[in-house]
Amino acid sequence: MDSFSLPARQKLLDFGAESSRLAWAAKDRGEPVGWMSTKFPAEIPAALGLVTCCPESQAAALASAGQGGPLCGAADGLGFCADLCSYSRIGLALAAGCQEDGPRIPLPDFLLCCNNICCNMLQWYQNLARTLDIPLFLLDIPYTAQDEPDGELIGYLRAQFSTLTRRLSAFVGRPWQEEAFSRACRGAVDSALAWQEVGDLLKDPLCPWDGMELFDYMPVLVSRRCDPRTAGLLRELGRELAALPRAERPARARLMLEGTPCWPHLRQVLAPLRQANIRITADTITPSLGFVYQDLDGLLRAYCGTINGSTLAKGLADRARLCRERGVDGILMHLNRSCRPWSGVLPQLGRGLAGEGWAVVSFDGDQADPGGFAGAQYATRVQGLLEMLEKGKEAGA
């Protein structure tokens, strides 16, 4: 039995797919539905019993289903520059009613945005607020050159939290209750711990499954991490994955995937790796959803620690630690044209990781626009990585 036939896997996928059905049901009842950025504190809407959808998750799903090109083209027709992030272009096209195929989410009645991911996020949500004439609730997390947020920054965020929760509560007509917020926080932390437990299974050199599978469950962590059922489903998955027969021998090599997957061409990206018995055992995105904290200040500190919100030194140290924990031999970097703040620092990060002994190669692509990927270049880069890994093994023999 492989991991794709596990009962817990299907339960999690169904649980994630239920989010859009819940949103449509809320719409039918006349309740407000929000769009929420990936790294906005989901504990806030959960405490108010609000249903939210994540347009980034929706864009990734549509891109995987072959809809990225048409929707990006529709955004071009609306006057949005092709240099914008493809997730935002798809989201803007969805808001304009341009979707013709694939799973759908309802239009929002309010927006929850946190700019701890990238500078484009705020402009995307501001445009949605203007064109849809709906309120935008922003949690502003400015970039800091420090490895850890200081007291002044936490104080700034705490004041915003108070204002935001008061305004959102008034808008939806539901009282803010600290006990409900505490329950949401407990559910989110428990989900994060269960998520880490599943990821840690990849430390085993004879682990029989590929870490790319974790991306299938990310929508659950994004939209439903506060739900108390999430942790239980993740732990059930972990037990079933741990019970799979171990591989007879270690993979030829273990890689870290740096960057958002190239969703429109994911099969083409993974095919040569699987043919060569190379496994992805680490990545920089799935661990970033493991927000663990003990109080409100801890929550605010956790949401400051995103990939693009970290200094170069901290980013390098975090990646090196992850590579060591997951037994990584080499690093495959996706220079995602949609994510310039992230991809802009990758050459320097790559040099730093190579200096610590890992084989590093990069390829050009895009997270949702199929036109950003060159298959011939990718095949050449993978072959180069394989040669670097083999030379490294010969030198260490």
CA distance 269 to 348: 23
Instruction: Give start and end residues of each alpha helix (H) in the chain.
Output: 7-28, 43-47, 55-64, 68-77, 86-95, 119-132, 151-172, 178-200, 218-224, 228-242, 266-275, 296-304, 312-325, 340-343, 346-355, 375-396
DSSP-derived secondary structure letter, 333: E
Is a pLDDT exceeding 90 seen at residue 190? yes
Could you tell me the CA-to-CA distances from 13 to 6, 93, 192, 214, 217 in Å, in that order?
A: 11, 26, 17, 11, 7
Amino acid 270 reads L
What does the alpha-carbon distance between residue 84 and residue 256 come to, in Å, rounded to a whole number?
Answer: 27
Q: What is the 3-state secondary structure (H, E, C) of 196-226?
A: HHHHHHHHCCCCCCCHHHHHHHHHHHHHHCC
Over the stretch 314-332, which tens digit does the pLDDT of each residue have?
Answer: 999 999 999 999 999 999 9
What is the overall mean pLDDT for the chain?
93
Distance CA 273, CA 308 (A): 27
* Predicted local confidence at residue 4, as pLDDT: 61
Q: What is the mean pLDDT of residues 104-127?
A: 93
Highest mean pLDDT among 43-52, 145-154, 341-350: 43-52
pLDDT of residue 145: 79
Token pair in block for residue 59: 């864009």
φ, ψ dihedrals at 335, nearest 5°: -80, 90
Give percent above pLDDT 90 in the chain.
Answer: 83
Whether the pLDDT of residue 1 is over 70: the answer is no
pTM, rounded to two decimals: 0.94
pLDDT of residue 205: 93
Percent share of the chain, pLDDT over 70: 98
The reported pLDDT for the residue numbered 3 is: 54
- Identify the pLDDT of residue 396: 61
Q: What is the DSSP track for 182-200?
A: HHHHHHHHHHHHHHHHHHH
Assess whether pLDDT exceeds 70 at residue 395: no
Report which DSSP code applies to 335.
E
Task: Report residue 199's pLDDT band, with 50, 70 and 90 as the boundaries.
Answer: very high
* Structure confidence at residue 345 as a pLDDT band (50, 70, 90): confident
Residue 12: per-residue pLDDT: 93
Distances 274 to 81, 179, 210, 269, 334 between C-alpha atoms, Å: 36, 48, 9, 10, 17
